[in-house]
Amino acid sequence: MLKNKNITLYVTGSIAAYKALTLTRLLVKAQANVRVVMTEAAQKFVTPLSFQTLTKNRVLTDSFESVNPAVVDHVELARWSDLAIIAPASADFIGKMAQGLADDMACLTLLATNAPKFIAPAMNDQMWLSPAVQRNVHILQNDEVHFIDPDTGFLAEGYEGKGRMAEPAEIVNSLIAFSNLSKELVGKKVVVTAGGTQERIDPVRFIGNDSSGKMGYAVARAFLARGAEVTLISGPTKLTPPNNVKFISIESAAELQDQVIKNFATSDILVMAAAVADFKPVKQSKQKIKKDPTNDRWTLELTKNPDILQAVAKIKRLNQVTVGFAAETTDLINHATKKLCEKSLDLVVANDVSQPGVGFNVDTNQVTFISSDKTVESTELLTKSEIAELLVDKVIKKTAKSNSI
């Protein structure tokens, strides 16, 4: 699937730069057209001549050195590229990309590149897990940059940890998998909900939950990658909406229901990944509720929120596909199956949020897919982006089946 693809490889300053030579060889062997850009730091580890020998193309290293005055090198290469892969990607370079800097040939070219971008990080485990690096990773993910996560293994520092650049063969397989992604959802309208809802008690207090919105945002990105037209309805989060979605911000469950009903009416697919509060205060105070010095107790009366998926089930057309999420702590399969049946869902994604690394406020998840035909399939602990891709695959099958009825 990489035959005749124009692939630009960006090599940055890391001891793993030697692996980029093997990666180049594998890409050439896969019959891709490969050109290489190297940072100044990368040249301390390997030479441009090595990549030039493998690719039979000039290696770009200096934004002020141009062989052909008739073209602007970084713009020409950006327009030429079908795919861009940064491997290895240092913490420094990831930070530069996240901030849109353009102080060398590699940064300049990537900033002008509209082709899909892949990053294979390589660094010390403490650097990889640092808040600053993870913040930059999230910025780039929201810009629809794809990450090929580092492996856990023996690091240059002499101990085991997560930070090793993914093996070249794994990187090539990721590029092939991306190239194989179907565009079967072109023309399909998808509504995705994300984040948690907040039910106001007074102007400064609310009832909410721990949802970060990461799963729903990953699902929105995955549908975009398959060519769908995506509407993302989100509760309050710290995330930046993906580019090219129709973004609708909500706060309460009632607001979410209004927007879901409105947008689902003209859509083909609904994925309810939002964590909706089950209850809301009966009364909302317009002023901050003050403490009563004569009473140490305070009773808050609650009432049920609207059941959004139940409302959707009443208006769902035969060829529409609906997906629900079930975050549970006990009896996962039974609770999720009950939700599947009661809400007339085509698919439910269940997870046990009491397990480490699963559910709210983490980048990983482990789920069980339960289909309307009662098929049950559990995953390993994966990134939320990987879970989202699996979900989209299943929705594509559901969509094809509903359209054949």
Residue ranges of the domains in the chain? 6-180, 189-404
DSSP 8-state assignment for residue 363:
S
Please indicate whether the domains covering 6-180 and 189-404 agree at the CATH topology level: yes
Residue 60, annotated ligand binder?
no
**What's the rounded mean pLDDT across residues 57-63?**
94
**What's the rounded mean pLDDT across residues 256-283?**
96
Residue 143 is inside which H or E element, if any? Answer: none
Sign of CA pseudo-dihedral 350, 353, 357, 362:
positive
Task: Tell me the pairing of strands 279-281 and 302-304.
Answer: antiparallel
**124 an active-site residue?**
no
Q: What percent of the chain has pLDDT over 90?
A: 71
Would you place residue 68 in the very low, low, confident or very high pLDDT band (cuts 50, 70, 90)? confident
Catalytic residue of the set 68, 209, 244, 319:
209
Q: What percent of the chain has pLDDT over 70?
A: 98
Residue 339, annotated ligand binder?
yes
**What's the rounded mean pLDDT across residues 94-120?**
95
Alpha helices in 103-161, H assignment, sequence order: 105-111, 125-128, 131-142
CATH hierarchy code of domain 6-180 = 3.40.50.1950
Would you place residue 334 in the very low, low, confident or very high pLDDT band (cuts 50, 70, 90)? very high
Residue 287 is inside which H or E element, if any? Answer: none
CATH hierarchy code of domain 189-404 = 3.40.50.10300
DSSP 8-state assignment for residue 279:
E
Is the backbone of residue 124 left (phi > 0), alpha (psi -120 to 50) or beta? Answer: beta
The dihedral over CA atoms of 381, 308, 238, 286, expressed in degrees to the nearest 10, equals -140
Count CB neighbours of 395 within 10 A: 27
Q: How far apart are CA 403 and CA 405, in angstroms?
A: 6
- pLDDT at residue 182 tops 80: no
- pLDDT at residue 402 tops 70: no
DSSP 8-state assignment for residue 241:
P
pTM of the predicted model as reported, rounded to 2 decimal places:
0.70
Residue 308, annotated ligand binder?
yes
**What's the rounded mean pLDDT across residues 341-346?**
95
Residue 26, annotated ligand binder?
no
- pLDDT at residue 86 tops 90: yes
**What's the rounded mean pLDDT across residues 48-77?**
91
Residue 343, annotated ligand binder?
yes
Task: Tell me the pairing of strands 146-147 and 151-154.
Answer: unpaired
- pLDDT at residue 404 tops 60: no
- pLDDT at residue 366 tops 80: yes
How much is the pLDDT for 403?
Answer: 61
Three-state SS at 61: coil
Count CB neighbours of 259 within 10 A: 19
Residues in Cβ contact with 204 at an 8 Å cutoff, skipping those fewer than 6 apart: 288
How much is the pLDDT for 405?
Answer: 46
Residue 223, annotated ligand binder?
no
Is the backbone of residue 144 left (phi > 0), alpha (psi -120 to 50) or beta? Answer: left
Residue 309, annotated ligand binder?
yes
How much is the pLDDT for 329?
Answer: 86
**269 bridge partner residues:** 190, 321
Residues 189 and 12: beta-carbon distance below 8 Å: no
- pLDDT at residue 344 tops 90: yes
More reliable by pLDDT, 181 or 249 = 249
DSSP 8-state assignment for residue 275:
B
The dihedral over CA atoms of 9, 12, 14, 20, expressed in degrees to the nearest 10, equals 10
